[in-house]
A and B are shown apart, each in its own frame.
Chain A
């Protein structure tokens, strides 16, 4: 990784965090669909970053979000899970395993379909853990499921759209 990649990664990282905390924190559609697009920070980290770093970074991201949402531990636990699973899910989605290191985790590097599938799967894992931990019980099962499904759709859509918009920033 050269300095340019690092600075771009850090920039994207900050952009997603600031957007989540200042704008998307207030976006809740019909009390059910939440937008947690900040997880793109973790999902779009370059593939060369070792899991030894990805997991602590995920924890930190979750913790920062938790501080602003007053939900100590809820986002952190969900983020650590996707940070850990990322290493195992990315190779499954890539076509030719020999050339893994060349692939960039982006819409250009993976192809639209694969990229959307990657974001969708990770968002689903994250939101399922998040909403069940947040509810704290299985008592509101149906409500929680509705929240998960609608939020996964909103989050996936906004991550993909934002990624397309910021593609210039990432790859120029």
Chain B
């Protein structure tokens, strides 16, 4: 017995090693499965505060780019405004959205506190939290295009799944003149392949759709977290997939993730109603 104890004593460091490795693995698994072990990530109040202070030092350097992107956004908004005014004066088509449905999206401006682009799973930390009405599952878009989805919230901060995440996918649609004339839609699933933070993969679009390089890729109508027609990027390269049925499209992302500073959190005010209706079908 004493020899056994002696043996245990001699390899005590090994046990210690195993113990801490198990704790690490537990943390790893927890973080992957649930919405936030909030003490051990950057939505922790003190950690986020210190990162924010760190960020404020570099903020002035980025001001020029921020101004540029704001100006660009203003132009885009103005264009859209004009489009809507035009559409109002020439009403066409049989479908008219009901005003509650048309106004279901609400936006909040948030500042990026922390951001990564080089990992396999990237997250963004923003300075709005549950006290500002942010809830897990809301969409996040930037001035140029979509950014991600809220993963978890603390009181003052939230963590966002960036679309540069191996498990994030978004229902997207390709837009061009030819598709509009033929009145067909080119719907596909967009997903990041984990290699280059400037490109995105778009799959499941059948290869007989007339798609060319440079076409815009936007979020589709089937999205409940992003407003439809939010910019995703531009088609950069088209290949026919291995199964010969679908295109394998490389999309150049509209959002430049390395310089992202301000984002908009999108709240769909009717998502609860839509979800409960959809769930009621699956229950029966």
Contacts and interface: CB of A to CB of B under 8 A. Distances in A.
A77 B24 contact: yes
A52 B16 contact: yes
Contacts of A135: 120, 194
Given A76-B20, A84-B13, 17 more contacts: A21-B54, A31-B117, A51-B13, A52-B13, A67-B42, A70-B116, A72-B31, A72-B37, A73-B24, A73-B30, A74-B24, A77-B24, A80-B17, A81-B17, A136-B121, A140-B194, A143-B195
Contacts of A84: 13-14, 16-17
A139 B159 CA distance: 26
A157 to B, nearest CB: 19
A63 B114 CA distance: 18
Interface string A133-172: 1111001100100000000000000000000000000000
10 contacts: A31-B117, A34-B118, A51-B16, A59-B24, A62-B24, A66-B27, A70-B123, A77-B24, A81-B17, A135-B194
Contact of A72 (B13, B20, B40): B40
A22 B54 contact: yes
Contacts of A72: 27-28, 30-31, 37, 40-41
B119 A134 contact: yes
A112 interface: no
A136 B42 contact: no
Contacts of A66: 27, 40
A80 B166 CA distance: 26
A139 B194 CA distance: 10
B13 A55 contact: yes
A31 B58 CA distance: 20
A86 to B, nearest CB: 10
Contacts of B195: 140, 143
Interface of B: 12-14, 16-17, 20-21, 23-31, 37, 40-42, 44, 47, 51, 54, 58, 114, 116-121, 123, 125, 159, 166, 194-197
Contact of B28 (A34, A51, A77): A77
Interface string A56-93: 10110011001111111110110011011001000000
B114 to A, nearest CB: 8
A28 interface: yes
Nearest to A30: B118
Contacts of B12: 52
A70 B197 contact: no
Contacts of A140: 120, 194-195
Contacts of A26: 58
Given A72-B27, A72-B37, A28 B118 contact: yes
Contacts of A28: 118
A31 B117 CA distance: 8
B28 A74 contact: yes
A51 B51 CA distance: 32
> Which interface residue of B12, B21, B159 has the most chain A CB atoms within 10 A?
B21
Contacts of B196: 31
A51 B12 CA distance: 10
